[in-house]
Each structure stands twice: as C-alpha cells, then as structure tokens.
C-alpha cells in the first residue's frame, strides 16, 4: 500500500545553531569550543551538495531544489521556492553560505562537509524510524570523536538493541563512540552544550500491537536569552490517537508563548486532508485543530481560565483582539511525496492558510524545503 515516499533528498533532519555562532567559526575555533546541536538525520553527501550550492547563485535566494523540480506545477524554481516561505519575520538563505563564499577558507566540498559533520557533537532523535535515524548510522564511520545522542528511553533502547548491536551495525555504543542519553519526559532538562538546554516530550505516532508508537518533541532553550523553539518528530493529532500528549505540550509551552519566549514551532503535516488511515501523521485540519488548542491554553492562562467553557473553535477566540499566535512561525515538515503532477506542498500550504484565515490565528506558515536556512529576526 502506498503511504507516500521518502526520497534520499527529503529525509527528515534539521541543523540547529544560535545565530551568534556562524558555520564559518567551525574552521576558526578549537575543536573543543565548537558545539552544534543536531536533530535527526544528516547525510554527508547532502551536506556536500548544500555546500556546493552556496558557491553558486544568490545565497539569500536558494534556487536549485530537487523537491520542487520533480513536479509539473511550478512556474520557475525561484517563484515556487518563495511561494512556500512567509518571511514576515524570517530570513532565508543557504545553510552553509558563509562557508561556501569566496571570502571563506577554500575547501573542497567533501572536506568542508567532513568538517561540518565532525563539528556536530549532539544528536536529538525524535523516534527510531529509519528516515529520521539512518544518517546517524551511515555517517558514523566519519566520526572523529564520540557523539552524544539524546531521546526518550524507548528510543534509546531501540537504538541500542536494534541498530548499534553488532549485527545491523557495529556496536559503537560499547566502543564509546556513541553515548546514549535518556531524557525522562516532563522531568529532565538536559544541558546539551554551551548554548542550549533541552526537554523531551512524548507524542503519539500511530498504532502498534501494544498501544501507540511514541515519537517525541524537543523543547530547545537558549541559555543566554531563554528563548525557545519546539521541534516535533512525526506525530498524530490527539483527536486521532485519543491521547492527550499534544495537549500537555501546549499547556506547558503556553506561558512561553505569552511571554514572547517561543516564536517558532517546527511540526509535520504529511498529507492533504483525506480520510483515515493516516498512519500516525497530520493533515492541515488536524494541525490547525492542535494550534487552536494551543491558542485556547494561552487564552485560559492569560484570562485565568474565564474562557475554559468555550470550545477551541469558539467565536470567542476568533473575534478577540488578543491573538497569542499572531506572527507565530509554524514551519511545516515531513510532507510525503505523491505520484502526481501537483506538488503536495502547494495543496497543504493553501489548505493551512485557508484554515488560518477562517480561525483568525494570524500564524506565519512556511513549508520546509531541503537546503533551506531560516533565521528568526527578533527586530521584526
């Protein structure tokens, strides 16, 4: 049964760094001072390709994008690329523009890629599905130093027993090259590096024999500014799972939203609206339902639960001048490829924005694309 495809160019990985640390510093700082946090999968050849792209064209407007080119509905790479971006308070560029520029140190693409990968010290794994994990495994022969890997206890146990077990792949855990760190949900806050603290929360991601398969979300907080970002792995709506994992997260982060300390949510929306089965994923309607729940928690906290009797879709929220999610960046990931002429991102993006207007959320939606760097502009 076709459930959507995962292309090598479109596996799920995000590279996270503070804006104060440019990639160029990787080649200037002593190794022990370089700290880069990595979420999910990073492939050596993909880094090399992105690095090479930085040496061509305008670094502020990445134009060459395989995921756009495989569909017939685009007018031009440049126009289609910008269609998916809401840059009201985001800046867009190539991920390694400062490294690939002519003014930087001259390195061959593979050499630069090797250095970048070895500057990453910590990996956050949302769940042990291969499209989110294989890069850690495949890239491990290039690791010069040990790597710290963080996630839920269930995820760490699967990595230990099913991947680095001496059969599927060498046991790099026993050899000390991979250090697994279990994060207890709702309890532990880990100091991953000089820049970030991280918390981990479970989310539901489809059925398994003994219940729901658990993925996770990471709340990453800058130690200096106390600004946070939340990054979700694969997940389904609470309405689909009949669990309350997402609602617990919305309740926990709503004070950060109200204090303007959380301005970006990275979350999946895999397919257009369609009937089940969804295999533990989100559609535009289910994603908007979750964001409506977050808005309701913000209202309830601000107004001391005076609105608690209203449903999340109530006109009480729609007609209010107070809109806590206005200008919130929601970056959509994990769109499944389909054998069709129209890019599914186009349809998902339109459905999300239609619902965004219907419920007066005021959210800035952006569709994540391979080779895209987004920087939040705090002055906007």
Lowest mean pLDDT among 159-173, 307-321, 330-344: 307-321
**Backbone phi, then psi, for 140, in 5-degree steps?**
-60, -30
Strand partners, 337: 5
- Residue 335 contacts residue 345 (beta carbons within 8 Å): yes
**The pLDDT of residue 222 is above 60:** yes
**Residue 227 belongs to domain spanning:** 8-376
Does any domain span residue 3? no
pLDDT average, residue stretch 205-217 = 94
The burial class, CB within 10 Å (0-12 / 13-18 / 19+), for 327 is middle
What does DSSP assign to residue 31? Answer: G
Q: What tens digit of pLDDT does each residue of 110-127 get?
A: 777 788 888 888 899 999
Cα torsion through 338, 340, 341, 346, rounded to 10? -40
Residue 38 lies in a domain: yes
Per-residue pLDDT band for 194 (boundaries 50, 70, 90) equals confident
Chain segment 301-319, per-residue pLDDT in tens: 998 766 567 788 889 899 9
92-101, 193-202, 350-359, 369-378 — most confident range: 350-359
Q: How many residues does the chain have?
A: 380
Q: Is the pLDDT of residue 52 over 70?
A: no
pTM for this structure?
A: 0.87
Does some domain include residue 2? no
Q: Is residue 1 part of a domain?
A: no
Residue 212 inside a domain? The answer is yes
Q: Does some domain include residue 120?
A: yes
Over residues 204-212, mean pLDDT? 92
How many structural domains comprise the chain?
A: 1
Whether 360 maps to a domain, the answer reads yes
Give the CATH number, domain containing residue 360: 3.60.15.10
The answer to whether the beta carbons of residues 226 and 261 sit under 8 Å apart is: yes
The residue whose two tokens read 């987004």 is 374
In a domain, 145, yes or no: yes
């Amino acid at each position: 049964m076709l459930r959507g495809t995962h292309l090598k160019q479109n596996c799920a990985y995000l590279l996270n760094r503070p804006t104060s640390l440019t990639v160029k510093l990787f080649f200037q700082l002593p190794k022990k001072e370089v700290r880069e946090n990595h979420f999910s999968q990073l492939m050596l050849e993909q880094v090399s390709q992105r690095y090479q792209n930085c040496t061509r064209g305008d670094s502020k407007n990445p134009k060459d994008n395989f995921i756009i080119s495989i569909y017939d509905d685009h007018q031009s790479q440049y126009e289609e690329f910008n269609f998916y971006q809401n840059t009201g308070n985001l800046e867009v560029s190539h991920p390694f523009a400062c490294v690939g520029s002519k003014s930087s140190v001259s390195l061959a693409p593979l050499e630069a890629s090797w250095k970048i990968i070895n500057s990453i010290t910590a990996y956050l794994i949302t769940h042990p599905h291969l499209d989110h994990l294989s890069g850690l495994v495949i890239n491990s022969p290039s690791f010069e130093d040990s790597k710290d890997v963080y996630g839920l206890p269930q995820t760490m146990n699967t990595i230990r027993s099913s991947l680095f077990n001496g059969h599927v792949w060498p046991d790099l855990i026993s050899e000390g090259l991979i250090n697994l760190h279990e994060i207890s949900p709702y309890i532990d806050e880990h100091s991953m590096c000089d820049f970030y603290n991280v918390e981990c929360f479970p989310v539901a991601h489809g059925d398994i024999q003994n219940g729901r398969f658990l993925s996770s979300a990471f709340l990453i907080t800058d130690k200096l500014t106390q600004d946070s970002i939340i990054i979700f792995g694969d997940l389904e709506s609470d309405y689909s799972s009949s669990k309350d994992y997402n609602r617990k997260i919305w309740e926990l982060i709503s004070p950060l939203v109200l204090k303007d300390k959380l301005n970006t949510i990275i979350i999946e929306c895999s397919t257009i609206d369609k009937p089940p089965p969804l295999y533990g994923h989100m559609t535009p309607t289910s994603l908007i339902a979750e964001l409506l729940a977050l808005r309701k928690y913000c209202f309830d906290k601000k107004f001391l639960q005076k609105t608690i009797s209203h449903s999340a879709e109530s006109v009480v929220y729609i007609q209010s001048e107070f809109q806590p999610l206005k200008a919130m960046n929601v970056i959509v990931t994990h769109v499944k490829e389909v054998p069709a002429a129209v890019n599914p991102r186009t349809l998902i993006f339109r459905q999300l924005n239609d619902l965004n207007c219907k419920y007066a959320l005021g959210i800035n939606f952006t569709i994540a694309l391979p080779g895209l760097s987004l920087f939040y502009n705090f002055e906007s």
